[in-house]
Amino acid sequence: MPLALYALTVGAFGIGVTEFVIMGLLLQVSGDLGVSIPAAGLLITGYALGVFAGAPVLSIATRKLPRKTTLIALMVVFTVGNLTCALAPNYQILMVARVVTALAHGTFFGVGSVVAASLVAPDKRASAIALMFTGLTAATLVGVPFGAWLGETYGWRSTFWTVAGIGVFAAAILTLFVPRSDARPEAGSLSEELSVLRRPQVLLGLLMTVLGFGGVFAVFTYIQPILTQITGFPIHAVSPILLVFGAGLVAGNFLGGKAADRALNPALIGALAALTAVMLAMSFALGSKIAAVTFTGLLGAAAFATVAPLQLRLMEAAGGAGQTLASSLNIAAFNLGNAVGAWLGGAVIDHGPGLAAVTWVGALMPAAALAIALVGQKLAHRTATAC
> Residue 278's closest CA among 295, 262, 256?
295
Backbone angles phi, psi at 178, to 5 degrees: -75, 130
Query: In angstroms, rounded to a whole number, what is the distance separating the alpha carbons of residues 360 and 364?
Result: 7
* Cα–Cα distance, 41 to 29 (Å, whole number): 10
CB atoms within 10 A of CB 149: 12
Task: Report which listed range, 51-60, 237-246, 263-272, is most confident.
Answer: 263-272
pLDDT at 271: 92
Which amino acid, residue 196?
V
Of 35-44, 158-167, 305-314, which has the strongest mean pLDDT?
158-167
**DSSP E strands, 96-201:** none
- CA distances, 196 to each of 1, 323, 329 (Å): 30, 9, 11
With the C-alpha atoms ordered 377, 381, 386, 387, is the resulting torsion angle positive or negative?
Answer: positive
Cβ–Cβ under 8 Å, residues 375 and 204: yes
How far is the C-alpha of 365 from the C-alpha of 278, rounded, in Å? 13
Interhelix angle 307-351/91-118, nearest 10 degrees: 150
Task: Please check the confidence at residue 86 and state whether its pLDDT lies above 90.
Answer: yes
State how far the Cα of 208 lies from the Cα of 326, in Å rounded to an integer.
13
Kindly indicate whether the domain formed by 188-387 is annotated with CATH number 1.20.1250.20. Answer: yes
CATH architecture of 1-185: Up-down Bundle (1.20)
Q: What is the mean pLDDT of the chain?
A: 85
155 pLDDT more than 80: yes
Q: Is 85 exposed, middle or buried (0-12, 13-18, 19+ CB in 10 A)?
A: buried
Q: What residues does CATH 1.20.1250.20 cover in the chain?
A: 1-185, 188-387
What does the pLDDT read at residue 158?
93
Task: Look up residue 7 and give its DSSP letter.
Answer: H
* Start-to-end CA span in the chain (Å): 36
Across 8-35, average pLDDT:
84
pLDDT range class, residue 192, cuts 50, 70, 90 = low
